[in-house]
Amino acid sequence: MSSRLATHAQGKVFVDEVFDAVAAVGRATAQHGKENVINATIGSLCDEQEKLVLLPTVERVFRDLGSDDIAGYASVRGFPEYLTAAIDQTFKNSKPDAYIEAVATSGGTGAIHNFIWNYSNIGDAVLTHDWHWQPYTVLCSDIMRRLESFTFFDDKQKFHIESFASKVRELIAKQDNLVIILNTPNHNPTGYSITDAEWDQIIAVINQNATGQKTIALLADIAYIDYATDPNQCRTFMKKFDTLSPNVFAAFAFSMSKGFTLYGQRMGALIGVSKDKQAIDEFVNAAVITCRTRWSNLSRAAMRTLAGIYKDKTLLEQVDQERRQYAALLQQRADLFVTEAKAAGLKFLPYTAGFFITIPTDNPVAVSNILRESNIYVVPMAKGIRIAVCAVPVNKIRGLAVKVAEAFNKA
């Protein structure tokens, strides 16, 4: 008998890229003891004892919530205090001179889904960089779009503007709407941050191509922004968004997962930016309907937590300070890996900050399997291996790059 599923739902199989690695880590830990296993697979921040970090002030505000806020429904669009806090946290000193409106979403993932759904047509290509967070692919295919990519890095390991421009031209020639997703700063899986000068070039390309009937919708996925070394400098590019042409709609995918360490609460926001009042109004209308139909409304507790932190300057400063300490720890781990990798002649993708460092290879599975023989667990991706420096304590980072280099030589 043929499938009972509707045509669009047939043939789908969920592949969890990290599942196999996580299961293998569990077995190795049981057999050899935690101290003898390096688990560089986890995409969450862990402390030096390898315990998941929950920022103490975030935890306190969350645990102090009353029963109404734990059990009650929230509004479909999200509480105004939450949305204002999400906007302030996103832009800090770098608000573009434009209308800015937000809707609450189920994490950054929900923001990305909401944006693709409302700014591309069925059958359209959506454009992103070749190195990207894998779920972008299924976020597109599940709603009958397809992900296409440009080459992220040129031979100087900088943003490949020619590849970007030629792919934008190619796609916009074939379709009227083009969604572009750029994950920066502190990109997953490389750690790269697009520079302000590169943003100028990107915006010029977008403005040149969004003319006449053609519209471009640009989404900045800023999931890892709060782990930048300088919270103001990493946001200066945002100010440039008021120079986008009227045929461009821009948005930011805000997430409380990494910045507020509340991954499981599934809280985020899609934040639209436009000089055009009509464009921002239609954004809110369409995006709120998507919220209503996908998840109805979201965690009231998580929204109240962010709103509560933003209501009290002292709390906000405490959260910032606690996060800064962890960001410094992350940087220390990454610096150590980078220094040792350079000494060992290991070529990694350009890292600015963030949770991961990636080493390109044509043999990711072979390298990963060789590392497993030494109880080192990484995530093999299509064209490289990903090391989650966010999860590995400094004492286990020491010597890791040398072992990875040896595995590369063997493979």
What is the contact surface with ligand PLP in residues (CB under 6 A)? 43, 107-109, 133, 183, 188, 221, 223, 255, 257, 263, 268
CB of 34 to ligand PLP, least distance (A): 24
- Of 357, 379, 370, nearest to 411 (Cα)? 370
CB of 109 to ligand PLP, least distance (A): 3
CB of 326 to ligand PLP, least distance (A): 17
Residue number, 109 or 368, with CB nearest to ligand PLP:
109
Contact yes or no for 205/178 (Cβ under 8 A): no
Residue number, 300 or 340, with CB nearest to ligand PLP:
300
Residue number, 223 or 301, with CB nearest to ligand PLP:
223
Residue number, 6 or 15, with CB nearest to ligand PLP:
15
- Which residue's Cβ lies closest to ligand PLP? 107
Contact yes or no for 157/349 (Cβ under 8 A): yes
> Strands 125-129, 177-183: parallel, antiparallel or unpaired by DSSP?
parallel
Residue number, 107 or 191, with CB nearest to ligand PLP:
107
> Strands 356-360, 384-388: parallel, antiparallel or unpaired by DSSP?
antiparallel
State the DSSP string of 254-273: EESTTTTS-GGG-EEEEEEE
Residue number, 79 or 263, with CB nearest to ligand PLP:
263
CB of 370 to ligand PLP, least distance (A): 26
CB of 398 to ligand PLP, least distance (A): 26
Separation of alpha carbons 55 and 368, rounded Å: 32
CB of 365 to ligand PLP, least distance (A): 22
Contact yes or no for 253/182 (Cβ under 8 A): no
Separation of alpha carbons 39 and 32, rounded Å: 13
Structure tokens belonging to residue 406: 């040896």
- Of 217, 218, 274, nearest to 243 (Cα)? 274
